[in-house]
Structures are given as C-alpha cells and as structure tokens.
Structure 1
Amino acid sequence: MFSLSSSHRYYLYKGACDMRKGFHGLSGLVTGKMGKDPISGDVFIFINRRATHIKLLHWESGGFVIYYKRLEKGTFSLPKGLRSGGVSWGQLVMMIEGIKAEKLRHLSRYNPPKPLVFADKNVK
C-alpha cells in the first residue's frame, strides 16, 4: 500500500544513482554516503544521471519498500536550494508530477508557540 505523506521526512541523494541498485545497494548509500539510518522511517530519494528514473526507499512496518518511476518522456526537475538534502512533501509531489517551480516563495503561516518545559518541577 502506498503510505507516503507529508508526515514523513524526505532526503534527496545528491549524486547520480545507478538504478540497478535494489534494497541493499540503496540502503548502503543511505548509510555510507548520506550518513542516515535507512530504517528510521524517513524516505530517501534517488535519481539517475539523466533524471529519467526515480526511486524512493522507505522502511515501513517490518520491511523496505521501493517506489520506482521511469519517465517515457522528459526529466525530473530537481528542487532548487535544497537544505542538507531535505525535500518537502510539496517539492516531492511537484517533482514527480513534472511541475517546475521557477520562483518558489513560502508564505508565512501561524505556528503556535511551544510550551516551556522545565527540568525542575518546582520551577514555574
């Protein structure tokens, strides 16, 4: 079952990936090259040199899942200004759907303040 959503964290592998790699090869890239834990529940994105193939590696309830898409025409457009390989859900969806955002501007949204947490229970 396709179970990816905005609640996951997404990381793009910055290099070109050999699309012959399977579960073990992609897990090795995550650990060795990206410095992340492949079974963390995060989603790892791999694109080939020509940007015509994309694989997503995800660990879910007891095993790995690979989502794989090959384009018959065109290429995947990589998001601009990635911060440490992190990709948002919106960027991933636009990338897969073939939407290229030339100028991307995030509008401010309300984020409620986080409650203060004190180590000493006597402090208020």
Structure 2
Amino acid sequence: MRADRIRLLVWDGTGVRLLAKRLEDGEFRWPTIEDGLMRLSAAQFPALLEGARLATRPLANETPAPALPGRAATQ
C-alpha cells in the first residue's frame, strides 16, 4: 500500500465528487482510531490533504519537539 496517495468520495450537497491526490514529498498521516472511528474536524481535513501529521500521540520512532525556554514540555 502506498501512503502517499489518497482517493476520496465526497458528498458536497449537490452530488458526489471523486478526489484523488498524491503527495510529492512525504505521506499521509492519519489521526488515531478510537472506538473504531476516525474523527476529523473541518480544520483537520484540509490539513490532512496537505500532508500534515494528525496523530494525537507521537509514533514510536519520533522524538517530541523541545520545549521553548522558560516553558515546561507538554505531553
């Protein structure tokens, strides 16, 4: 499976649209699945299509970004 490609059927209120996208650099990062559902907000959907990482917790091989000076790190 290629993680750099996505195809979606989207109902826009007047009909169905087929959306296909391939990222030139990187891969799509899906949010975590909770209770068998993947929930996306209206703001998360366009971010996902641009290749932003939407997972709520870091992947095993990722290191959290360092905290800004004078501020505690958040988890």
Q: 1:91 and 1:82 mapped to 2: Cα distance?
A: 16
1:103 shift after superposition: 4.7
Q: Which structure carries more helix by proportion?
A: 1
1:77 alignment partner AA: R
1:102 shift after superposition: 5.8
Provide the secondary structure at the position in 2 that maps to 1:89. coil
1:72 shift after superposition: 2.1
CA deviation string 1:55-105 (max 9, x = no partner): 2212332x321111111221001112445233222222221122225657x
2:44 aligned with 1:91, yes or no?
Answer: yes
Partner of 2:69: none
Unaligned runs of 5+ in 1: 1-48, 105-124
Unaligned runs of 5+ in 2: 58-75
Match for residue 10 of structure 2 among 58, 66, 74: 58
Q: 1:69 and 1:90 mapped to 2: Cα distance?
A: 18
Q: 1:52 and 1:93 mapped to 2: Cα distance?
A: 15
CA deviation string 1:36-67 (max 9, x = no partner): xxxxxxxxxxxxx2211112212332x32111
Partner of 2:71: none
Q: 2:10 and 2:54 mapped to 1: Cα distance?
A: 26
Partner of 1:21: none
Q: TM-score of the superposition, structure 1-length normalised?
A: 0.35
The alpha-carbon distance between structure 1 residues 82 and 66, as it changes in their structure 2 partners (threshold 3 A), is: farther
1:91 alignment partner AA: Q
Q: 2:28 and 2:54 mapped to 1: Cα distance?
A: 12
Contact 1:54 1:68 (C-alpha < 8 Å) held by counterparts: yes
The percentage of counterpart residues that share the same residue type is 33
Q: TM-score of the superposition, structure 2-length normalised?
A: 0.52
Number of aligned pairs? 55
